[in-house]
Amino acid sequence: MQETWNFTLSNPTTSSNSEELTSLLKRTLESNENELRIFLSLYTKIDGAVAEFPEFEKLIEQKSIQEGSISILFNKVFFNACLNINETEKDRIILHYLVDQERAELLLTGPFVPERGMDDI
């Protein structure tokens, strides 16, 4: 499984350096925090958790000014009322980004997670 999600850019401007790009990515992810939490939760649900308080950490790799990888920090929250579980742990995920200035969109692609195949009986 590999998930992708489109976000609308916040105050899109033509980014010519990594500082402007970092600022644009931070603004966009902060203004779309709920959607980002849902996107990250698609990866944490495997562990029975949800993602909360996502935070842009840093640019990791830039292939160009419009494309590269970023690191996101977030809390992975486990909750089960029946088992009296309410725990939180910090986690980090590396996401690939693609900025489309013309359409004012940010496309995030998560890591590839192989799906479990059929069990033999």
Question: Which tens digits make up the pLDDT trace of 4-41?
Answer: 888 888 776 666 677 888 888 888 889 999 999 998 98
- Residue 74 pLDDT: 92
Distance between CA atoms of residues 40 and 45, nearest Å: 9
Q: Is residue 114 part of a domain?
A: no
pLDDT in tens, 60-111: 878 887 889 999 999 888 876 566 566 778 889 999 999 888 888 889 998 8
**Is residue 115 assigned to a domain?**
no
What mean pLDDT is predicted for residues 39-45?
Answer: 88
Q: For 48-78, give the secondary structure using H, E and C.
A: CEEEEEEEEEEEEEECCCCEEEEEEEEEEEE
Return the pLDDT at 78: 84
Residue 72 lies in a domain: yes
57 found inside a domain: yes
Q: What's the domain count of the chain?
A: 1
Number of alpha helices (DSSP H) and beta strands (DSSP E) in the chain = 2, 5
Residue 33 lies in a domain: yes
Is residue 88 a part of any domain in this protein? yes
What's residue 82's pLDDT? 65
- Rounded to the nearest 10 degrees, how much is the dihedral formed by the CA atoms of 20, 26, 31, 34? 150
If we measure between CA atoms, which residue out of 30, 23, 29, 26 comes closest to residue 6? 29
Q: For residue 119, tell me if it sits in a domain.
A: no
| Joined tokens for residue 105 | 């969109």
At residue 96, the pLDDT reads 93
Domain that holds residue 37: 4-109
* Assigned domain for 118 exists: no
pLDDT at 21: 82
Tell me: pLDDT of 2 over 90.
no
Q: What is the pLDDT of residue 120?
A: 73
Nearest to 54 by CA among 43, 46, 62, 64: 43
